[in-house]
C-alpha cells in the first residue's frame, strides 16, 4: 500500500510539473520573444505580407526566389521529402529544378547554382538563403526590373545577417525581407 501511495504521489507531481508548470514557463519565455510568441509578422501599408521566420513561395522572375519546399510552404505540417539523394524520383526533381533555374537565369552556369536553390530544407519552411543563393539571381532580377546589378548586389549585402553571435551558423538572407526591400528600391514592373 505504501508503494502504491508513493507511485500515485509521484505520478501526480510529474503531471503537475510536466503538464502545468513546464508549459507555463515556456509560455512566459515565448511572451518575451519577438512577436510575443505569436511569430513576427511583416507588414506593408497596414497589411500583413508574411512571417519573418517562415518561408514562403517566391517564383516570379522579378523577385528573389526562395528555397524549394517539400510541404508547399504549409506551416501547419512542416517536413522534408525523406527521399535519399540516390532516389531516382528525387534526382529527377532536382534536375527539373536546375533546368528551370537555368532557363530563367541563362547567364548562370549549372556549377554556380547553390544546392539550396534545388533542394528543400528539412522543415520545408526555411525563410533564408545564403548570400550566394541570392547573388546568383541578381542578373535576372536586374534585367526584369531595369535596375543596375551593382545596386542589387549592394541590397543583398545590406540584407545579409551574419552568423548568430558571430560564429554560430552561416551568413543568411531572409528572402521575404529581401524582396520587400527590393520593392522599395525598384518597384516591380506591371
pLDDT, tens digit, 9 for 90 and up, residues 31-78? 887 777 777 778 888 888 888 888 888 888 999 999 998 888 887 778
Angle at Cα 125 formed by Cα 124 and Cα 128, nearest 5°?
Answer: 115
Domain ranges of the chain: 1-38, 40-185
Task: Please state at what angle helix 149-159 crosses helix 175-185, rounded to 10 degrees.
Answer: 140
Average pLDDT value for residue range 80-102 = 92
Sign (positive or negative) of CA dihedral 105, 109, 112, 115: positive
**Rounded Cα distance, 73 and 125, in Å:** 6
Residues 6+ positions from 43 with CB-CB distance below 8 Å: 49
The rounded percent of the chain whose pLDDT value lies above 90 is 59
Please give the Cα distance from 9 to 22 (Å, whole number). 18
State mean pLDDT over 8-20: 95
Q: Which residue has the cell 539571381?
A: 137
- Local confidence band at 126 (pLDDT 50, 70, 90 cut-offs): confident
Provide the grid cell at 84.
Answer: 535519399
**pLDDT reported for residue 190:** 64
Other C-beta atoms lying within 10 Å of the C-beta of residue 72: 10
Residue ranges of E strands in 88-146 = 128-129
Q: What pLDDT sits at residue 82?
A: 83
- The pLDDT mean for the chain works out to 89
Between CA 116 and CA 129 the distance in angstroms is 7
Cell of 22: 513546464
Query: Residue 52: what pLDDT?
Result: 80
Contact present, 178 and 134 (Cβ < 8 Å)? yes
User: What is the phi/psi pair of residue 148, to 5°?
Assistant: -65, 135
Amino acid at each position: 500500500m505504501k508503494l502504491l501511495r508513493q507511485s500515485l504521489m509521484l505520478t501526480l507531481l510529474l503531471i503537475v510539473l510536466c503538464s502545468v508548470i513546464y508549459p507555463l514557463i515556456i509560455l512566459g519565455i515565448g511572451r518575451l520573444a519577438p512577436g510575443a510568441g505569436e511569430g513576427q509578422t511583416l507588414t506593408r501599408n497596414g497589411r500583413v505580407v508574411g512571417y519573418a521566420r517562415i518561408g514562403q513561395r517566391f517564383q516570379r522572375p522579378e523577385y528573389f526566389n526562395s528555397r524549394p519546399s517539400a510541404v508547399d510552404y504549409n506551416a501547419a505540417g512542416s517536413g522534408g521529402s525523406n527521399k535519399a539523394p540516390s532516389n531516382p524520383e528525387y534526382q529527377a526533381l532536382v534536375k527539373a529544378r536546375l533546368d528551370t533555374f537555368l532557363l530563367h537565369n541563362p547567364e548562370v552556369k549549372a556549377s554556380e547554382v547553390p544546392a539550396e536553390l534545388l533542394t528543400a530544407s528539412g522543415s520545408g519552411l526555411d525563410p533564408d538563403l545564403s548570400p550566394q543563393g541570392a547573388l546568383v539571381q541578381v542578373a535576372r532580377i536586374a534585367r526584369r526590373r531595369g535596375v543596375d546589378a551593382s545596386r542589387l548586389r549592394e541590397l543583398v549585402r545590406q540584407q545579409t545577417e551574419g552568423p548568430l553571435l558571430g560564429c554560430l551558423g552561416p551568413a543568411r538572407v531572409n528572402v521575404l525581407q529581401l524582396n520587400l526591400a527590393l520593392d522599395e528600391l525598384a518597384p516591380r514592373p506591371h
